[in-house]
A and B are shown apart, each in its own frame.
Chain A
Amino acid sequence: MRVSKSAYPLTWRIMDALEAFAAFVWPARFGRAIPWMMLAPALLLVGLLVLGLWQIGDVSLRTLDTSTFLMSEAYTLANYQRAFTESLFAVVAWRSLAGSLIVTVVTLTLAFPYAYVMVRTSSPTIRKLLLIALFLPFFIGQVVRAYGWLIILGNQGMVNEALGLVGIAPIRLLYNYWAVLFGLVQYMLPFAVLMLAPALTAIPEELEAAAGSLGADWARTFRHIVLPLARPGLVGAGLVVMTLSLTDFAMPAILGGGSQDFIANAIYDQFFRTSDQGLGSTLALLLVAAGSMLVGLVFTLFGAGTLAMGRARR
């Protein structure tokens, strides 16, 4: 039988060549190394961050010479001493920490019922609507959303115009602590709901029905069945909201108007206003350390929750 050319199409030849090339680059005896070779690009990319941290650490050990505006050659711990003793940084740190705690509690309280309804509703239309309402702000970005709040809450903004109609003098709603926290809650809601939803999906609806049939009203079912079983989601969401709001820059900058700086704003100012890279790096490194300790603490206490990205536990 004569083999026609078309019986072995070009695409097959290309695939053969590619296979041969692959076999040449990754011989089968390297089999065990293949996962690592596939991981290598990601490990290298994230390595940039590690390199960056190393650089921050290096700069944090040098002080700024105010006469020449050069960083000192010798290493010193002076910046750390300043970071821990100057009261300005303590004030900023407490403001950020307290703020992120409040934001976490409020965000989780608001996000939990939303995620619950979104997961449990029997109407696909409502579910889709809730999902779209969630993704739209998530995809719009912080600056634009903060700008929306400026229009609503500004001195000549909507709320004050409305108050003016009923004869109430304008209230200063912006550029205070609560405006920043308000903006942060709105910014964090999509994150929180998206972390909670998979955990709620995993709770069998029959469990709630069972609790109901044993006489528990819905509030008790919620308290004793849903909340405990949703713990991985609550841990994941709480951690994400807490760390993101603790370290946020845009909301304090835009809605706080410079008077409500969080840690990130203080770091930015050290780099771009005072040009003291050393002190700025010190603050950045301390923030990274605080954030990592928080994550580590929560992971050891509660496990990785919905943040784990590895294989399903078998």
Chain B
Amino acid sequence: MTAPLSKTIVLWIFVVAVLVLLSAPTIVILGASFTSGNIITFPPEGFSLKWYEKIATSRDLWDAFLRSLYVSAICTIVAIPVGTLAGIVLAKYAIRFEKSVQIYLLLPFTIPLIGSGIGLMLIFGEARLLGQLWPVGLACCVINLPFMIWAVTASASSLDPDLELAAASCGAPPLSTFLHVTLPAVMPGVISGSLLMFILALNEFLVSLLLTDARIVTLPVQIYNSIRSIITPDLAAISVVFIACAALAIVLLDRLVGLEIFLKSK
């Protein structure tokens, strides 16, 4: 059945508008980063890589970027076991208080970020942990944990429970069953979940702003602080690092599990 023309036109007007809205900042930043002028204009006046040279030699920016990578790594390493185990339980076991556990585990989403950030700032301050980086990674893990759990439950629900029973009846002890049947089945969820966790922690701004001080700012906070003072194209060049990371994450996600996984209905 072919759709009527008017429907196609109306729908595509919306789609194109959204496409422009979504892509405009990315395209503009890419363009601005290659400008040879000092003030950002678009189209860029002349092509040059001088802003990339400038950021390549800027210690501040590189340190901030490395700190961001470290925070994301901590976040992901913690999230993988914690989220996978919780996701499998929520998807497969009938436990008491199931509803309450679900609502509790959704808290990171229902508590506003500023509330979570301030709360963590207060308890980390009390425990004298502020000024270090790993608590920032842990905080990023907590506030995004539902993403990891969602990803795992989505793939665990499609695992037929009979498969585990079959493995057990073939003589596999519980741990073998878990490692050879359950874990491979939820792997797509673990992969997409951990990619999400990594990239969201890399971009996390507000919680980093609250938990870091001037000595250990992460890259988004560094950019934010520079925006407040003056806008120069080196910020565009460093933003391209984020765009590159995002593109890499999308390629990985697409290769490993396929982006279409996000369209699946539960």
Contact = CB atoms under 8 A, between A and B. Distances in A.
Given A131-B262, A139-B245, A254-B227, A287 B114 contact: yes
A309 B42 contact: no
B14 A113 contact: yes
A199 to B, nearest CB: 7
B102 A309 contact: yes
Given A42-B83, A151-B32, A185-B21, A197 B263 contact: yes
Given A111-B18, A218-B4, A308 B102 contact: yes
A152 B27 CA distance: 10
Interface stretch (A50-58, A62-70, A84-92): A50-58
Contacts of A118: 263
A217 B235 CA distance: 50
A130 interface: yes
Interface string A111-136: 10110111100000001101111111
A149 interface: yes
A204 to B, nearest CB: 11
A209 B3 CA distance: 10
Interface in A235-264: 240, 243, 246-247, 249-250, 253-254, 263-264
Contacts of B150: 309
A219 B262 CA distance: 27
A57 to B, nearest CB: 9
Please indicate which of the listed interface residues B10, B25, B41, B231 has the most CB atoms of chain A within 10 Å of its own CB.
Answer: B25
Interface residues of A, number: 106
Interface string A251-283: 001100000000110011001000000001100
Given A141-B205, A154-B231, A264-B206, A136 B126 contact: no
Contacts of B110: 243, 291-292, 295
Nearest to A193: B18
Interface in B235-266: 235-236, 239, 242-243, 245-247, 249-250, 253-254, 259-260, 262-266
A186 interface: yes
Main secondary structure, interface of B, reads helix
Contacts of A119: 263
B190 interface: no
A228 interface: no
Main secondary structure, interface of A, reads helix
B199 interface: yes
Interface stretch (B46-54, B57-65, B87-95): B87-95
A46 B88 contact: no
Interface string B161-176: 0000000000001111
Contacts of A111: 18
B203 A151 contact: no
Nearest to B222: A143
Nearest to A183: B25
Contacts of A209: 1
A197 B262 contact: yes
Contact of B176 (A15, A53, A110, A186): A15
B101 interface: yes
Contacts of A42: 82-83, 85-86, 105, 145, 149
Contacts of B175: 15, 18-19, 22
Contacts of A166: none
A145 interface: yes
A308 B150 CA distance: 9
A215 to B, nearest CB: 13
A186 B20 CA distance: 10
Contacts of A312: 157, 266
Contact of A135 (B29, B39, B227, B250): B250
A46 B1 CA distance: 49
A45 interface: yes
Given A19-B175, A46-B104, A131-B260, A137 B40 contact: no
Contacts of B145: 42, 45-46
Given A53-B111, A56-B119, A309-B146, A143 B224 contact: yes
A253 B224 CA distance: 10
Contacts of A190: 22
18 contacts: A15-B175, A22-B175, A38-B88, A43-B105, A48-B139, A52-B116, A113-B14, A133-B22, A144-B223, A148-B239, A157-B40, A240-B109, A250-B206, A264-B113, A284-B119, A310-B153, A311-B94, A311-B157
The 9 closest A-B pairs by CB, nearest first: A52-B119, A148-B25, A141-B203, A247-B112, A139-B246, A113-B14, A202-B265, A42-B86, A264-B114
